[in-house]
Structure 1
Amino acid sequence: MIPDLGIPHIAFHLPQRIHDVRSWGKRTRQKTTTVVNLKRAGMRYYRSADGQSAIGLAASAIQRLLVASGISPGEVDCIVYVHTLQGSIAPPPQSLPGLLCDRFGFINAEAFSFAQQHCASALGALRVIRAMFIARPHLKRVLLVGADVMSIESERIMKDEGILSDGAFAVIVERGAAVNRLLAVATHASGLGWRGVLANDEPRLAAQNFFRARSLIRQTVQQAHFTLDDIQRILPHHLDLPAWRRLLDSLHIPQDRLFAENFARIGHVTVSDAFINLAQCQGLVPGRPLLLFARGVGGFSAAALLVR
């Protein structure tokens, strides 16, 4: 039996340092067309950690979550840490989830990381967490946290689709929660896209991403026995806003259902986009579903359907 899970508490942390795409292009000596294409993709600004580590960002998000929720560290049964960039972990023999447990006193929590689906790892982790709740009836509360820091400024570009921004999120996934209930989650993995942003000769990937997203959204909605017309908002990853507009047109979903404000404001915060959007999207109607979506380099995609 699939347990009744929800996400009652959400927090995120974005560094204070804000840069605009044009100044980044000049500073890193990008071609003019690169900056133009990024702006066409919806990018205007991004956040820089300015020397702060991934564990620092994650800790800031967790601190905000604990204060706002009133949950004590002893009430957390498990911690799942997600990330995309290889620099966003602690060097062996240290463990970043372990360091977070030590810092906050999560004395009852198991802890592990999940990063194999790159930017789709946060939503992909929901499948793992749901399976844990099924297998362990005593499990009540899981802390899902993600953080990424890009230390090389010139490497922030994601082709012409977006620009990487530093940041972190933290959410509580709880058994029996009455808000943001998890109705369905689906993932897709394909080795065909493994070269990702390193490939300059694979234009077919754009078409693959489009049709994969279209199929995955349909699949997730059907799992929960809803229709596309039932979706009140889509909370996307912040890559290629024009492609999202085309995708919604192909699905016959009104454009005003796409929560697109954060593309320009914060750029692509790797694993955190969907949950930052969930925290900031206003006017959600109780009882109607909303869809979270993420795509990771390497051909990974994930979608989750929640009901407010």
Structure 2
Amino acid sequence: MNSTIGITHIAFHLPPHVDDVRSWGNRTGQDASTVMHLERAGMRYYRTADGQTAIGLATSAIQRLVLASGVAPHALDCLVYVHTLQGSVAPPPMSLPGLLCDRFGFSNAEAFSFAQQHCASALGALRVIRAMFMARPHMKRVLLVGADVMPLESERLMQAEGILSDGAFATLIERGATVNRLLAIATHASGQGWRGVLANDEPRLAAQYFFTARSLIRQITHQAHYTLDDIQRILPHHLDLPAWQRLLDSLELPRERLFAENFARIGHVTVSDAFINLADCDGLIPGRPFLLFARGVGGFSAAALLSR
């Protein structure tokens, strides 16, 4: 049986309420240098759920995906839910993945959540899903869903790197896919600095993340038997745009290959950035690889190479 998997459909939902970093800075009592650093990092606007819950955002993303894909509820073998913030799951004894399955009638789907790699959890889950497809020849379709809502406005700051935005994504992963085929995936956990960008030793961690990103990108490109120059686009997480530009310089890749349009438009949507970018990135050339990247607090990083 064909073990090739790929992302056949993708949808996302961003709350309609748009705010800007300067207004956020004024409301939360930030000093002028904080806002200036955010703008230098590429941040301008972000989305706020304005009372919507994580399950509400996830539901909206799934509704859009089901409508676009036409997938029958009974055809799903598994639902995997990812998140970063602890408030983005239902309190025990409830199960948010279970609630989503009940809501949409996914009666044949196993369901579980994965959050241990924080903002890198969606790509980390993609690695788990690939292993499931390999171990279970009968598996055909998995729905990967991610959502996060920040409950406190003052906590949206990711130091000088970015600002947290609320949102959700849903993506259908299928066996035998002919589009967005998964070529290679790699993850990294340093075991250092569990507070990540929230800690005071951020300069050391920033350097660590930079070298890890470069190493992972080289690793999966070599693993898939491509060269760095073969990568047509890099779809990043929305943190520290100048650092991303320096990373491409160090890889000797043109900065134009970084899909950077969403940094200023929507901010950092935790687990969703790379998949929102995949939905938004037009002009990907069939047969050429592109790369998804995500980073999470606690020293987690993940990269996935796919072919259009």
TM-score range, shorter chain: over 0.9
Verify the 8 A CA contact 1:2 1:134 in the aligned structure 2.
Answer: no
Residues in 1 aligned to 2:240 and 2:203: alpha-carbon distance in whole angstroms: 14
Aligned length: 308
Deviations 1:240-297 (A, max 9, x none): 0000000000000111100000000000000000000000001100000000000000
What code does the residue aligned with 1:172 have? L
Residues in 1 aligned to 2:112 and 2:201: alpha-carbon distance in whole angstroms: 36
Q: TM-score, normalised by structure 1?
A: 0.99
Runs of 4+ in 1 over 3 A off after TM superposition: none
Q: Where does 1:121-200 land on structure 2 (aligned, <5 Å)?
A: 121-200=121-200
Counterpart for residue 279 of structure 2: 279
Verify the 8 A CA contact 2:193 2:199 in the aligned structure 1.
Answer: no
What code does the residue aligned with 1:76 have? L
Verify the 8 A CA contact 1:180 1:307 in the aligned structure 2.
Answer: yes
Q: TM-score, normalised by structure 2?
A: 0.99
Following superposition, the deviation at residue 200 of structure 1 comes to 1.2
What code does the residue aligned with 2:42 have? G
Residues in 2 aligned to 1:152 and 1:223: alpha-carbon distance in whole angstroms: 42
Residues in 2 aligned to 1:139 and 1:77: alpha-carbon distance in whole angstroms: 6
Following superposition, the deviation at residue 191 of structure 1 comes to 1.5
Counterpart for residue 300 of structure 2: 300
Deviations 1:190-229 (A, max 9, x none): 1212121331134211111110000010001111100100
Counterpart for residue 113 of structure 1: 113
Verify the 8 A CA contact 2:236 2:292 in the aligned structure 1.
Answer: yes
How large is the RMSD of aligned CA atoms in angstroms?
1.0
Residues in 2 aligned to 1:241 and 1:143: alpha-carbon distance in whole angstroms: 30
Structure 2 stretches lacking a partner, 5+ long = none
Counterpart for residue 15 of structure 2: 15
Q: Does 1:225 align with 2:225?
A: yes
Residues in 2 aligned to 1:167 and 1:305: alpha-carbon distance in whole angstroms: 24
Counterpart for residue 289 of structure 1: 289
SS at match of 1:67: helix
Q: Does 1:82 align with 2:82?
A: yes
What code does the residue aligned with 1:193 have? G
Following superposition, the deviation at residue 2 of structure 1 comes to 8.7
Verify the 8 A CA contact 2:158 2:198 in the aligned structure 1.
Answer: no
Counterpart for residue 243 of structure 1: 243
Counterpart for residue 71 of structure 1: 71
Verify the 8 A CA contact 1:121 1:271 in the aligned structure 2.
Answer: yes
Residues in 2 aligned to 1:26 and 1:240: alpha-carbon distance in whole angstroms: 21
